[in-house]
Each structure stands twice: as C-alpha cells, then as structure tokens.
Amino acid sequence: MTDAKTMIDETVKSNTVVLYMKGTKTMPQCGFSSRVAGVLNYMGVDFHDVNVLADDAIRQGIKDYSDWPTIPQLYVKGEFVGGCDIITEMTLSGELDQLFEQSGVEYNKDAADKIREANA
C-alpha cells in the first residue's frame, strides 16, 4: 500500500487539479464521477484524471489517503476538496469559483454562472 500512497501523493502534489474518478474525464463510468468531471469540463478546468477502476491499489489507496470513503475525489493544489455532493454544493454556491481563483486555477466564469442559473 505504500507504493499506492506514494503515487497518490506525487500525483496530487504535481498537478494543480486532480480528480480521482471511476472512468476518465472523457468516459466516466459512474454517475457521480460523470457529474464532477462534467462540471470541471464545462467550466473549462484543466485537470488530471485518475481512473481508480484501472488499479485496485489506487482505488483503495485514495480512500485511505483522504480518509474519505467514496469516489470521486477532487484535489486542488494538493488539498482534498471533496466528493460529488460537496463539489455540487460548492459549484452552486460559488465557493468552487472562489477556490479556483484563490488557487490560480483558470476556469470559465460564464460557464460557472450558467450552471448556477440552470439550477436556480
């Protein structure tokens, strides 16, 4: 498990935005992963995706790493942000915009506003 932890640690620290998910950003394989990847893609966020279905050690390792039981998991600047429900809430409240701005992550503000308008 140490190898998985090392790989995860290196991945979250060497990429500004990382999404551990089931499937890939272009082909999510679960609804929750699809929702978070869809938000990030729609907002134009450049993110690194890690398909946990491709490696059981990573799939369990990411849960241990974050002490969070579910996937997907979003990391920004090496910090765990949350899973699907938290990312959805942060998107709708504007907190995700603030996090991206504070972290220097480029995103499309108009797209973020459209998500909020559609869910108002």
Residue positions forming the annotated binding site for [2Fe-2S] cluster: 30
CA distances from 117 to 64, 66, 78, 112 (A): 36, 32, 30, 9
CA distances from 57 to 4, 13, 75 (A): 6, 19, 19
The helix/strand/coil state of 20 is strand
Contact 52, 58 (CB under 8 A): yes
- The annotated binding site is made up of 30
Cα 73 from Cα 13, distance rounded (Å): 14
Region at 94 (left for phi over 0; alpha for psi -120 to 50; beta for the rest): left
